[in-house]
Amino acid sequence: MTTLHAPVTRRVAGVVREDLVVTLYPSHLLGIRALRTRREYTLPLATIYRLAIEADLAARRAARRKGGRGAL
């Protein structure tokens, strides 16, 4: 695995109505903005990780309530 020393920016096509630009910063931040805009939203990577876990748990609970066999 390579250690991040400089920001890495990539365009992601077709995620929402417009393309997005995602930047991974060495300071443990992730920035996201719409293509051809300046307003960037940043979040700490720890927050994004926690949100991903919470979303996964919510989906598993919803599947279990619906009668599926979501493993929890």
Tens-place pLDDT, residues 24-53: 999 999 999 999 999 999 999 999 999 999
Structural domain count of the chain: 1
Q: Would you say residue 70 has pLDDT above 60?
A: no
Report if residue 2 sits inside a domain. no
Mean pLDDT of the chain: 93
Contact indicator for 18, 34 with CB cutoff of 8 Å = yes
Give the residue among 16, 21, 22 at the shortest CA–CA distance from 36. 21
Contact indicator for 7, 25 with CB cutoff of 8 Å = yes
Predicted TM-score (pTM) of this structure: 0.80
Give the residue among 41, 37, 1 at the shortest CA–CA distance from 23. 41
Report if residue 1 sits inside a domain. no
Q: Which domain holds residue 37?
A: 8-66
Average pLDDT over residues 15-20: 89
